Amino acid sequence: MNALGYATFAAGITLAPVDASGAEPSREMALADERAVIRIADAIDRAVDAQDWKLARSYFADRVTADFSSLSGQPAANIASDDLIGAWAANLRGSKTSLHLRTNHQVTIDSDAATVSSNGYAWNRMEGNGDPLWEVWGTYEHHLTRSAGGWKVDGFTFRMTHERGNPWVKTTPGQ
């Protein structure tokens, strides 16, 4: 047997050789980076649904270019991440619950920049004015930059493809 071992993924698939000296080949690092940025995109959803705003904020750089124009009609803007999280916290609180799901991640990494594109579905639920549900489907794009503290989101776009349900639930903050 030669001096190479093999790194394995959780499913047991052989991914890339590991040098006996412990040096990571660039393919292994690329896979680790890809997994890290996907985890961040997914973790934002979990934090938002749990209304854990401090955790949600931890995934973002100090400023973010946010584009929700397909939902709000407002143009993309570069804003303080605290303001983005504050807006989410003001809308998704108390009696208003949410569920965000994402799938079909595609990742592009170029040195210290990454883009995660994915399909997404979200629903908001709140009693009080007819049908308690509002749902939306679309595509997400997260742009991340590697910093000393790890990968951070500095760009966030949602492009709606379909929505259904009570628009009151969409536009009314939870109590």
Where residue 66 sits, what CATH number does that domain have? 3.10.450.50
Which residue type sits at 29?
M
Q: CB within 8 A of 99, min separation 6: which ones?
A: 49, 122, 123
Which pLDDT tens digit goes with each residue over 94-144? 999 999 999 999 999 999 999 999 999 999 999 999 999 999 999 999 999
| The pLDDT of residue 27 | 87
| The pLDDT of residue 21 | 52
The answer, yes or no, to whether residue 156 has pLDDT greater than 70, is yes
For the chain, how many structural domains are there in total?
A: 1
Q: Among candidates 122, 112, 116, which has minimal Cα distance to 170?
A: 122
| The pLDDT of residue 25 | 53
Structure tokens at 136: 């939306």
Q: What is the mean pLDDT of the chain?
A: 89
Contact (CB, 8 A) for 129 and 158: no
Which pLDDT tens digit goes with each residue over 2-52? 333 333 333 333 334 444 455 555 889 999 999 999 999 999 999 999 999
| The pLDDT of residue 113 | 97
Q: Within 10 A of 120 (CB to CB), how many other CB atoms are there?
A: 20
| The pLDDT of residue 100 | 98
Tell me the C-alpha to C-alpha distance, in Å, between residue 29 and each of 13, 40, 172. Answer: 16, 17, 44
Q: CB within 8 A of 90, min separation 6: which ones?
A: 173
Residue 14 belongs to domain spanning: 5-171
| The pLDDT of residue 14 | 36
Residue 17 CA to residue 24 CA, distance in Å, equals 8
β pairing state of 60-67 and 150-165: parallel
Please state the pTM of the whole predicted model: 0.83
| The pLDDT of residue 1 | 37
Residue 170 CA to residue 168 CA, distance in Å, equals 5
Which pLDDT tens digit goes with each residue over 76-86? 999 999 999 99
